Structure 1
């Protein structure tokens, strides 16, 4: 006898099916970053059209951890020679966070009519869940903060994926589509699996932001920098992880009124364009002062999510270790500083 599926289970299965179909269609069309972009597009359209979709939290955590292991494999012993340049780049990143938060906050106040709390936490380029929690704690509009960050990531992924491919001349790298040049042996599987397990639970215990991704990435990076392993997860698992990450973006819009979503995306186009213009300026500054390629610096300073921007770097053969480390540092800066700065600003009126 077939067991009837609950509405929530159907919504989760439908979300993954739509994501897989979208990824397959984009792959056949040879579009950039097909598995994530296709999943993101199909699930977003479905959610905006009123289809009830949702993502399985445990499935998402597992594949985000796999993506973290993959990002950690981009770190190599040779990168230690460039750390002094990374330090300069991190200083520019701190200034970038201050400038963009100020400008985008003004944008949301002037053009969207948001109150000061909502505008501030919608503008701060930190982790989505962390900014929602902090903003709601100070009395901000949780739905608008969530929509601002979700739509920003959606717009940034589209602009950067197609921009780098068509305007920048970048072509997909084999690292994201074929298996590793280092065959996976039993010992490698144990090391990578251990990195995912220890990184996930260790980062959760330490209450790190984006712990499912950051923890496995840090442990995997340590293993690869130390030369213990040079392998990465199978390409098939990474493709599925991209589908899950893309589907997660689209599923965020489920249940929101169409008018609110459309307005949020239109506002996000303006905010993201502003952020990217500032990122271009900082990318030039990093290119000149820190001897880092402009293409890498621009992606490291771009206003997308950690997982999404790192996937673009992997797909285009850009230095994923440099890009992902900057987005991790940016999230830490915002998560720690944003509530403290807001309290200070409120106290001063």
Structure 2
């Protein structure tokens, strides 16, 4: 327990240092790098899954408290462009899986599950049932998410002057205001955990937390959560992501060969192309489109948007819709494209 606590505190400190140095999404990036260094060169630490749920609840609550009712009016015009990009995303993922199968020694189902765009935990859990190499699938998705969460915030932060102006996490705040905001966050967190246990679906923790945060905003419209709380939550998330990427995952990809790196590169370029399509079809700017469309995790991308003073609610909505849509389509995709007989 003490080792886990020391690791998390160290990751938060590194994240805070990155933020002070004005590195885009510094809290998140700094802690991810700290986690990778720890995993590769110090020791492998296993953090409980409940910790990620708690972090999701805090981040979601922050996003919900920033949400305004008029924003929902703009989302209706995004339905058709979102459906178009989602369809292209799924088709591209299937084709990329066929490409990986063609030029690697992986069996059909392993390549198929490696390239499904999103819902990593659900995809990994199902892959074993269909004769796929679960370790390879987990390594591929872990690498993809880690790579995207490292690169995307830098791409956004360095190319958007407005977004690059990060929130000031170390401002002076009223003590009573801090106490009220923390009390609200704790309440939302507890209710979110309870609801997630009773009604569980991909992204449920983030969904419930954003909804509860929005309701609390309607009840307490003047409430403002100190920025350092969001920063610490981002650092803990980064610590969880960073520690998952280890030598074992790297060795798994190395065994596949250089085609794994090529596939990940194509995956990244595909995300840039999808963001461009969404940008052309909507009034949303390209960088917000990138955060909303890229298959890199709802919480991670929404957290990045919040850190860079962008529309985190929009990003979270697009990301959660993608994950939920893929989750609903997954049984049909498996039936159509996966080998029913275990290989």
Report if the CA contact (8 A) 1:300-1:326 is conserved: yes
Partner of 2:91: 99
Deviation at 1:223, TM superposition (A): 4.2
Change (3 A) 1:119 1:188: same
Worse-matched range after superposition: 187-196 or 30-39: 187-196
Partners of 2:73 and 2:204 lie apart in 1 by 27
Deviation at 1:175, TM superposition (A): 6.8
Count of residues in Structure 1 that have an aligned counterpart in Structure 2: 339
Q: What TM-score do the two structures reach when normalised by structure 2? A: 0.86
How large is the Cα RMSD of the aligned pairs?
3.1
Partner of 1:195: 188
Partners of 1:257 and 1:272 lie apart in 2 by 14
Partner of 2:54: 62
Counterpart of 1:300 (choices 292, 300, 306) is 292
Counterpart of 1:160 (choices 152, 155, 159) is 152
Report if the CA contact (8 A) 2:12-2:27 is conserved: yes
Partners of 2:256 and 2:31 lie apart in 1 by 20
Partner of 1:279: 271
Equivalent residue runs for 1:193-232 within 5 Å: 193-224=186-217, 226=218, 229=221, 231-232=223-224
Worse-matched range after superposition: 65-74 or 247-256: 247-256
Deviation at 1:326, TM superposition (A): 0.8
Change (3 A) 1:82 1:59: same
Partner of 1:83: 75
Change (3 A) 1:277 1:61: same
Change (3 A) 1:58 1:279: closer
Counterpart of 1:246 (choices 219, 223, 238) is 238
* Structure 2 spans left out of the alignment, 5+ residues: none
Change (3 A) 1:11 1:187: closer
Aligned to 1:231, what secondary structure does the other structure show? coil
* Structure 1 spans left out of the alignment, 5+ residues: 1-8
Change (3 A) 1:289 1:254: closer
Deviation at 1:100, TM superposition (A): 2.9
Partner of 1:172: 165
Report if the CA contact (8 A) 2:181-2:223 is conserved: yes
CA offset digits 1:69-105 (Å, max 9, x no partner): 1122232112132122222332133213323312331
Deviation at 1:152, TM superposition (A): 0.7
Worse-matched range after superposition: 135-144 or 337-346: 337-346
Matched, 1:317 2:309: yes
CA offset digits 1:190-210 (Å, max 9, x no partner): 554443332332132111223
Change (3 A) 1:166 1:78: same
